[in-house]
Structure 1
């Protein structure tokens, strides 16, 4: 039997590289997948791919920086797919510049998407999980949160905040049978990473440097992440909470 049969899963940023791969993997494990994204056309494409493969999925337009939009999308998910069993906070955005070249307007947007948006999602979903005394939350942070990353100061700050927040929520809601864990990708071949390379001014040289620095000898692919995410969402991880796991080909190694 699939690990997550009939579980209702929300994946924010579900139309992107890591998000789309994660949605498809959850569907393959038997879950009913709610694809949350600002780009409803792209979200619908992911949902349609899942349904064409025999899975259950629905697309929901959602700007996670807008609490009213979050509440509406979560309520629609519950009405269509059932109570939320798993929340994956994957949506993210970045500006690739030295900190002194960034502006307060950019900080506000970075914080709204990468931190406040995740808070909105937790606040909307946790009461239902607590009432049912079960639930899994997997937050997608970044290795930038663990070791820093030049040109990503505010992004790293948000992702570091998400790790600390996750550990606190894991403590607060352990008594409700809810686990909260974090997956920290390293450099991964997504549209966001493509922007990072372009911002560096010499994409080929940057790729070569990253490839040399990663012990496994390659940049991550979106498909490298869903295994860890699904593991934390499954009963195999029922006794694991408040943990952060790097999925970075060994680029960072933390004991």
Structure 2
């Protein structure tokens, strides 16, 4: 459980993210800490943001007005970046949640992390790899579960055992992380393996392959041995021939 001290700043690029996902995003953010600041940036005089107005009001997200003064120039990004730096220098936040699929926030994420502050990114599959890798964690919007009173988005199809085994990046990453996290007995704590995977691949998430839990994904590959630990949790090792 997150402690009250785990304060987060949630900054949303309204020009770049659909309002339909805000419930699921905030539910995911709650797992990281307390969203004490929630701001959303855009030109609120534009009809394109009409769906965001109700969503922002319902979730008590502060709208920040930024006029699009020049065609082809994204003033919204600049406003979000300036606010993020101002909030960073208050030293009050343990993490920032940047909700956007825009590569313009790559340097911002990097700069925040240079201060020892965690960055959680949220965006669509089209998000450039540079921004994804600049975050500590990056979650694709399509893997987030929608509230029951909202129409569900199309979630990633669950991959079969054969498809998982053919995913060389996934298999090689798991094997390498197990080796790194294991002791002399070759067993590794599954949660430690998951943490290592995400440090190396910020967008690593078992839901990307259609599995709710890392343990379910690992079992589905059929390439690893998974057992309960005597101290709680699960342990994992590579299968021997």
For the criterion TM > 0.5, the same-fold answer is: no
Task: Give the TM interval when normalised to the shorter protein.
Answer: 0.3 to 0.5
- Normalised to the residue count of structure 2, the TM-score between the two structures is 0.44
The higher-RCO structure (CA 8 Å, 6+ apart) is 1
Normalized per residue, which structure has more helix? Answer: 1
- Normalised to the residue count of structure 1, the TM-score between the two structures is 0.42
